[in-house]
Structure 1
Amino acid sequence: MKTSAKFIVLHPPIHKHGGGSGGALVVALSHRTWLLVFMLFFAFTFGFTFITTRDAARTSRHNGSATATEATLPRPVFDALLHYASINDTASGRMSSAELKSIAAVLRRCAAPCNFLVFGITHETLLWNSLNYNGRTVFVDESSYLVSKLEEKHPRIEAYDVQFTTKVSELYPLMAHYKLQVKNECRPVQNLLFSDCKLAINDLPNHMYDVPWDIILIDGPRGYFAAAPGRMTALFTAGEDRSSFSPPVDKTHVFVHEIDREVEKLCSDEFLCRDNLVETNENLGHFVVSKMTAARGFEFCPPPIRLSHRN
């Protein structure tokens, strides 16, 4: 037998304090107050979310554009650094203003990131590291003390010390050794990391031999007295850079400071080739050397072209 549905109706208690109409008014005002609070909270939350999202989008766009513009050093900063580094350029061991500008011009044209290898820690070290903004600049020096002091003061700079075993006074015996070994240990196309040639630098960190260097500056080691290490090995290594470093670049700019000295002049002609000399600015030689392959044979420089005379 089906029973009919029962409905339970709950009535809110009515407290008659000063009349029933007054209590209903209080309840209505209470509901409206809560509704107003809820609407204000919703509006505040929506507005806060909108503003935060908009600012985040602006920040993201700004950072993106900043990353794009910061790929190279701003021109005014570049010029200012070069200007102040050129002051008092007559001091011993410093490059002249003309020599600095010659290297800086190539750095400015180099597409970032530019790989810049510098032999020697000098007065210009911080300048080179700054001008090659967002690129990789590596310094190689004979003095472990100078390298450690540089890393202590500027921990972000990459520098390594190399034990040079050569001497300026040994120039001609070393060149004779090179001539004898040009088809073996001193051949122009090889991996320096495994070379036993007396002119090879093979004690750098292994990863250094995998960097395609765009620019090489030879301003060290010392070479102004007979017992100094001389720059024969640095120049030989710069010549080998065209083949031994992997992957090689099509062209490498090689700057040789104090090229008027005997060691620098003779070794530059032998390993960088006189035909590759594009500019001489005071005591700075600028070579542009092309990629070298095994097809070259056992010569760093191609033989001179001999014109045949017909009778």
Structure 2
Amino acid sequence: MKTSTKFIVLHPSIHKQGGTTSHRTWLLIFFFFFTFAFALTLLTTRDAIPTTRTTTSATSKSPLPKPVFDALLHYVSVSSNSSEASGISSAELNSIAAVLRRCSTPCNFLIFGLTHETLLWNSLNHNGRTVFVDESAYLVSKLEEKHPEIEAYDVQFTTKVSDMYELLEYSRDQLRNECKPVQNLLFSDCKLAINDLPNHIYDVAWDVILVDGPRGYFAGAPGRMPAIFTAGVLARSKRGGGDKTHVFVHEIEREVERVSSDEFLCRENLVETKHLLGHFVVEKMEANRFEFCPEGEEEESSSPSSKSSLSDD
């Protein structure tokens, strides 16, 4: 029987082809694995984002814990009773803090004046909107440098304490025009209007306003007439939020603060007085009304017969 032997010869090109196929196969496997892993990671991350945002949002709306709130108030009250640097008493602090505590959501809190209590107000209104307005660009700059998280603006006042009664007469003449109680102060030319703050400040529905500045203890000082007028207009022109705004005026025993408050915040809205602090609750008003107070209410405290010399005191 005849047999033939067959030889299988492997051409070098076959090895190359097989090697190339294997290399490409592993490359494709790696590519698909990487794509799958990336897609899985992306989907997992995307699903987790809403949960994270929800948690953050819920946390940001939480008020300052009561023990921390009370501790801050206690230690600052102790300091205010033992230090001449503070201009506000423990009873006055508690009056403002009680309103901040009652806010159903973190308050929108506007403060005229940088004082000993500036950091306290910002802390008590935890996670709320707290804005400071002061006459000193230097103090505002130093505050922003040390505490960049605090929002503060400087304003150049053109009024003087000695001109208060003249300004009151002017505002009455302009009651249906530039000095009306419901308006957008950004576009107001009223001499008592603070109209040079950033635009967004006028869109905020302020829940609490504290007037503790600018200076008003001598005839040439700017006086707090513009701050009190502006607070009255912001409260009556309020859009969104509640219908009422709590307005506090510090050192209300002084003539400028007392007379301006009677004129623009109204005596009928005064709900409490603690030492030198007047607490007003002002309701928003319809745009077609042109009086700050019921007719005749403000005339008693600011009539010519009641005027006294606004000299340095």
The TM-score range, normalised by the shorter chain, is: 0.7 to 0.9
Distance in 1 separating the partners of 2:165 and 2:226? 13
Is the aligned partner of 1:301 residue 2:310?
no
Kept in 2: contact 1:213–1:249 (CA 8 A)? no
Q: Measure how far apart 1:190 and its partner are.
A: 1.5
1:187/1:154 Cα in 2 relative to 1: closer, same or farther (>3 Å)? same
Distance in 2 separating the partners of 1:192 and 1:249? 20
Kept in 1: contact 2:112–2:211 (CA 8 A)? yes
1:249/1:67 Cα in 2 relative to 1: closer, same or farther (>3 Å)? closer
Kept in 2: contact 1:255–1:285 (CA 8 A)? yes
Partner residue in 2 for 1:85: 76
Paired letter, 1:293: E
Paired letter, 2:132: F
**Structure 1 length-normalised TM:** 0.74
1:64/1:246 Cα in 2 relative to 1: closer, same or farther (>3 Å)? closer
Distance in 2 separating the partners of 1:112 and 1:271? 27
Partner residue in 2 for 1:222: 215
Is the aligned partner of 1:167 residue 2:137?
no
Q: Measure how far apart 1:242 and its partner are.
A: 2.6
Is the aligned partner of 1:242 residue 2:235?
yes
Instruction: Report the 3-state secondary structure (helix = DSSP H, G, I; strand = E; otherwise coil) of the residue aligned with 2:196.
Output: coil
Partner residue in 1 for 2:62: 71
Kept in 2: contact 1:112–1:134 (CA 8 A)? no
1:256-278 C-alpha deviation (Å, 9 max, x unpaired): 00000001000101111100000
1:194-223 C-alpha deviation (Å, 9 max, x unpaired): 111100010000000100000000000011
1:137/1:69 Cα in 2 relative to 1: closer, same or farther (>3 Å)? closer
CA RMSD, 1 decimal: 2.2
1:238-268 C-alpha deviation (Å, 9 max, x unpaired): 1101344544640000000000000100010
Partner residue in 1 for 2:126: 133
Of all paired residues, the percent bearing the same amino acid is 70
Partner residue in 2 for 1:103: 96
Partner residue in 2 for 1:267: 260
Equivalences for 1:1-311 in 2 at 5 Å?
64=55, 67-68=58-59, 71-90=62-81, 91-247=84-240, 249-295=242-288, 297-303=289-295
Paired letter, 1:231: R
Instruction: Report the 3-state secondary structure (helix = DSSP H, G, I; strand = E; otherwise coil) of the residue aligned with 1:203.
Output: coil
Paired letter, 1:300: F
Instruction: Report the 3-state secondary structure (helix = DSSP H, G, I; strand = E; otherwise coil) of the residue aligned with 1:269.
Output: helix
Paired letter, 2:65: P
Distance in 1 separating the partners of 2:135 and 2:261? 20
Kept in 2: contact 1:242–1:248 (CA 8 A)? no
Instruction: Report the 3-state secondary structure (helix = DSSP H, G, I; strand = E; otherwise coil) of the residue aligned with 1:256.
Output: strand
Kept in 1: contact 2:237–2:284 (CA 8 A)? no
Q: Highest CA radius of gyration, 1 or 2?
A: 1
Kept in 2: contact 1:113–1:136 (CA 8 A)? yes
Q: Which moved more, 1:234-243 or 1:138-147?
A: 234-243
Q: Measure how far apart 1:92 and its partner are.
A: 4.7
Instruction: Report the 3-state secondary structure (helix = DSSP H, G, I; strand = E; otherwise coil) of the residue aligned with 2:265.
Output: helix
**Structure 2 length-normalised TM:** 0.74
Kept in 1: contact 2:250–2:277 (CA 8 A)? yes
Aligned length: 246
Kept in 1: contact 2:211–2:248 (CA 8 A)? yes
Q: What runs of 5+ residues in structure 2 fail to find an aligned partner?
A: 1-43, 298-313
Q: Measure how far apart 1:118 and its partner are.
A: 0.3
Distance in 2 separating the partners of 1:93 and 1:81? 15
Q: What runs of 5+ residues in structure 1 fail to find an aligned partner?
A: 1-52, 306-311
